[in-house]
């Protein structure tokens, strides 16, 4: 299997092979064949009488030591994955809530509210009285409401309840899956998956859905608070792929997920440029992004994306990265070793995320700019150590238009229909210029030729006039392949879609269509796509599960992707996963996830590893929804 379809990646991988340096692909090969029990989800390690495993072919043990069946084990494992994914998003959102609160309390002056209008509308949505409140007071109230959402209480998690349709909320209440506290929901899953608690697979899966809705709340809160603190993204033109690294610059890569540190670094990059030049870097300071931290600073500051996900090591292997600053999530531990072998300083910044081989420079919101400066300075020092070492920057970069927040999309629509921007989108869905909407999300996965599923599926769907949205590492994949451009629309969009995107792009002064794929942000920003869907549903007066809207994580890796996928299904979306999740050891659970759950929520999982047939299935789902709407 080819490792990647990305030209830049191929260059660096060839060099790594030549130099005998292992990467994630080599380690994966060393891991294969992987344990089939684990792959199928039928391995249980939840007590010290285990590990137990069920023979999925019915020849070995049919029950674990305690009597758990494959159904119970698969459902328990899945629920725990959702809990972990939720915890990651929750931690991210909580962090921002603390930053906002600290600013409101005068403890973190480096976090002034940047988007007061979003703060206002957020407060209003939460039912907070906004009259005669200063920005500080409002910020405090919103931050406190956010922090309250983590604790168990008698009312639903606000960020889950106010961000869905009324019909959805009623469904969630009906099935008892509305969480009343984000951390409480995580804790409940960990309790019910403990030895000898929940053994009923359906009950466990509903527990997982409840936790996934807490994940939705965490994602949405992460988006909202980042917008309040750092500004709501607006379309921005930048570049993507390893070619954005510069030989004669101090290259600092910002990697991880939370803009809480990286945005501050981005804010002060210009101040530090001169220092980089003085250190001998004629091109000054060059910040680049990796993974979702990259998406955050791309969306708000136009900082180019070096790469994402599975290829993060390749950035270091160019030899051109002087410092890589990481916060948390999706940061391969291997970076520590690589950094030790290179001149690169790997800088960890979060107390909960240290990596052997890294320098740890703890970040606190109270002293954000100060720490940010120290970090950049470390990068400049490191550049000096690079000396005359040769770098291998592959000459590949693509234009990448990003920043399509919900507000930005509505803004673009408003250019053509000021009074009723959504009507325009709906009209085009009704008249068939846009057949439906597909949100691409999730990671790359070393099991899949990097970017192949993303790119193939996007082209297939675009040709059939599906409006494409993307977040996270999915958006990164499209960026690397030039699909976040007007040119891609001209090349790949079907007639109707091209028509709409061209009208919008020209009204926006792009001199061409909007990009083929609209980059909505980081993985928490899947909430933005949800907002668009909710707005359309509300306008049409139907629930989410009636819309021709689908989602796909064609190269998913993380537990976060599992929790996002689960809330997408609970939100009513046909949701494609392009790698086989560890559930197939239980045909019963697999059937629930891919079929029966539809009776509960309207959404369901589609598992297919072939991108062409996956696109066909999503297209089929879109057509069925259109039919349901009488279109």
Residue span 341-380 as binding mask against its own copies, x where in contact by CB under 8 A, dash where not: ----------xxxxxx------------------------
- 52 counts as binding its own copies under rule CB under 8 A: yes
Torsion-angle region of 4 (φ positive above 0: left; ψ -120 to 50: alpha; else: beta): beta
- 31 counts as binding its own copies under rule CB under 8 A: yes
List Cα–Cα distances, 435 to 95, 427, 498, in angstroms: 39, 11, 12
Backbone angles phi, psi at 201, to 5 degrees: -60, -40
- 175 counts as binding its own copies under rule CB under 8 A: no
- 66 counts as binding its own copies under rule CB under 8 A: yes
Q: Cis check for the bond before 224: say yes or no (omega within 30 of 0).
A: no
Structure tokens at 148: 């309250």
Residue span 447-466 as binding mask against its own copies, x where in contact by CB under 8 A, dash where not: x-------------------
Instruction: Please list the alpha-helical segments (H only) found in 279-346.
Output: 291-301, 312-317, 334-341
Residue span 512-551 as binding mask against its own copies, x where in contact by CB under 8 A, dash where not: ----------------------------------------
Structure tokens at 95: 């962090």
- 86 counts as binding its own copies under rule CB under 8 A: yes
Please name the helix (run of DSSP H) or strand (run of DSSP E) that holds residue 290, with its range, or none: strand 285-290
Q: How far is the CB of 176 from its own copies (least distance, A)?
A: 7
Find the binder of its own copies among 8, 16, 43, 439 (CB under 8 A).
Answer: 43
Find the binder of its own copies among 116, 127, 176, 432 (CB under 8 A).
Answer: 176
> Distance from first CA to last CA of the chain, Å, rounded?
41
Residue with Cβ nearer its own copies (191 or 370): 191
| Contact status, residue 619 vs residue 587, Cβ threshold 8 Å | no
DSSP 475-522: HHHHHHTT-SSHHHHHHH--HHHHHHHHHHHHHTT-SSPPPSEEEEES
Find the binder of its own copies among 5, 15, 130, 152 (CB under 8 A).
Answer: 152
Residue span 201-240 as binding mask against its own copies, x where in contact by CB under 8 A, dash where not: --x---x---------------------------------
Region from 82-90, 136-144, 472-480, 593-601 binding its own copies, contact rule CB under 8 A = 82-90
Contact set for its own copies, span 582-601 (CB under 8 A): 582
Q: Which residue has the tokens 């909202």?
A: 224
Residue with Cβ nearer its own copies (35 or 117): 35
- 178 counts as binding its own copies under rule CB under 8 A: no
- 335 counts as binding its own copies under rule CB under 8 A: yes
Residue with Cβ nearer its own copies (161 or 473): 473
Instruction: Please list the alpha-helical segments (H only) found in 175-268.
Output: 182-192, 201-230, 259-267
d(CA 293, CA 264): 12
The sheet that has 604-607: what strands, in order across it?
517-521, 466-471, 436-440, 549-553, 574-577, 604-607
Find the binder of its own copies among 67, 127, 395, 587 (CB under 8 A).
Answer: 67
Residue with Cβ nearer its own copies (64 or 379): 64
Q: How far is the CB of 218 from its own copies (least distance, A)?
A: 10
- 560 counts as binding its own copies under rule CB under 8 A: yes
- The 10 Å CB-count burial string (b at 16+, else e) for 429-444 is beeebbbbbbbbbbbb
- How many CB atoms are closer than 10 A to CB 620? 13
- Nearest CA to 465 out of 431, 440, 420 is that of 431
Find the binder of its own copies among 14, 17, 19, 65 (CB under 8 A).
Answer: 65
Find the binder of its own copies among 581, 602, 603, 611 (CB under 8 A).
Answer: 581
- How many CB atoms are closer than 10 A to CB 472? 32
Structure tokens at 8: 């830049």
| Contact status, residue 347 vs residue 359, Cβ threshold 8 Å | yes
Find the binder of its own copies among 5, 39, 364, 623 (CB under 8 A).
Answer: 39
Region from 115-123, 421-429, 556-564, 602-610 binding its own copies, contact rule CB under 8 A = 556-564
Find the binder of its own copies among 5, 15, 47, 542 (CB under 8 A).
Answer: 47
């Amino acid at each position: 299997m080819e490792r990647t379809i990305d030209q830049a990646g191929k260059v660096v991988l060839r060099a790594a092979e030549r130099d005998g340096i292992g990467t994630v692909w080599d380690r994966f090969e060393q891991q294969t064949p992987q344990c089939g029990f684990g792959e199928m989800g039928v391995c249980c390690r939840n007590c010290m009488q285990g590990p137990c495993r069920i023979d999925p072919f019915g020849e070995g043990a049919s029950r674990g030591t305690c009597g758990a069946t494959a159904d119970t084990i698969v459902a328990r494992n899945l629920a725990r994955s959702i809990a972990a994914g939720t915890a990651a998003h929750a931690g991210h959102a909580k962090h921002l809530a603390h930053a906002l609160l600290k600013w409101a309390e005068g403890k973190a002056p480096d976090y002034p509210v940047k988007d007061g209008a979003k703060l206002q509308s957020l407060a209003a949505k939460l039912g907070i009285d906004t009259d005669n409140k200063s920005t500080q007071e409002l910020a405090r109230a919103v931050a406190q409401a956010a922090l309250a959402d983590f604790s168990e209480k008698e009312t639903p998690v606000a960020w889950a309840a106010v961000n869905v349709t009324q019909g959805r909320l009623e469904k969630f209440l009906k099935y008892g899956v509305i969480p009343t506290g984000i951390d409480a929901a995580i804790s409940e899953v960990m309790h019910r998956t403990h030895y000898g608690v929940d053994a009923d697979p359906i009950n466990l899966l509903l527990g997982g859905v409840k936790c996934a809705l807490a994940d939705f709340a965490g994602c949405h809160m992460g988006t909202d608070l980042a917008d309040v603190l750092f500004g709501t993204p607006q379309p921005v033109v930048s570049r993507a792929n390893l070619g954005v690294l510069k030989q004669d610059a101090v290259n600092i890569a910002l990697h991880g997920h939370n803009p809480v540190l990286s945005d501050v670094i981005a804010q002060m990059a210009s101040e530090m440029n001169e220092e980089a030049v003085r250190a001998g870097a004629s091109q000054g300071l060059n910040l680049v992004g990796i993974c979702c931290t990259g998406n955050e600073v791309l969306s708000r500051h136009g900082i180019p994306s070096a790469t994402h996900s599975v290829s993060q090591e390749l950035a270091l292997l160019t030899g051109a990265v002087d410092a890589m600053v990481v916060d948390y999530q999706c940061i391969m531990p291997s970076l520590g070793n690589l950094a030790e072998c290179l001149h690169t300083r790997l800088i960890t910044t979060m107390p909960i995320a240290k990596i052997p081989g890294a320098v740890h420079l703890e970040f606190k919101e109270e002293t954000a700019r100060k720490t940010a400066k120290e970090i950049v300075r470390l990068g400049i020092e490191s550049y000096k150590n690079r000396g005359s070492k040769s770098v291998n920057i592959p000459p590949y970069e693509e234009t990448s238009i990003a920043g399509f927040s919900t507000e930005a999309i509505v803004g673009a629509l408003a250019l053509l229909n000021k009074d009723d921007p959504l009507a325009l989108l709906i009209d085009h869905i009704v008249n068939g210029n846009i057949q439906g909407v597909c949100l691409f999300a999730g990671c790359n996965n070393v099991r899949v030729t990097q970017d192949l599923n993303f790119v193939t599926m996007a082209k297939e769907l675009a040709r059939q006039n599906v409006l494409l949205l993307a977040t996270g590492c999915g958006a990164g994949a499209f960026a690397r392949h030039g699909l976040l451009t007007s040119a891609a629309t001209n090349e790949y969009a079907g007639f109707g879609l091209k028509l709409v995107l061209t009208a919008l792009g020209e009204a926006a002064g792009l001199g061409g269509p909007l990009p083929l794929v609209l980059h909505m942000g980081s993985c928490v920003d899947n909430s933005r796509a949800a907002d668009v869907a909710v707005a359309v549903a509300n306008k049409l007066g139907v629930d989410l599960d009636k819309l021709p809207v689908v989602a796909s994580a064609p190269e998913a890796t993380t537990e976060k992707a599992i929790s996002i996928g689960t809330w997408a299904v609970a939100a009513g979306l046909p949701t494609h996963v392009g790698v086989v999740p560890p559930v197939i050891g239980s045909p019963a659970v697999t059937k629930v996830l891919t079929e029966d759950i539809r009776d509960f929520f309207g959404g369901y999982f589609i598992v297919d590893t072939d991108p062409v047939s996956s696109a066909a299935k999503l297209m089929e789902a879109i057509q069925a929804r259109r039919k349901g709407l009488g279109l």
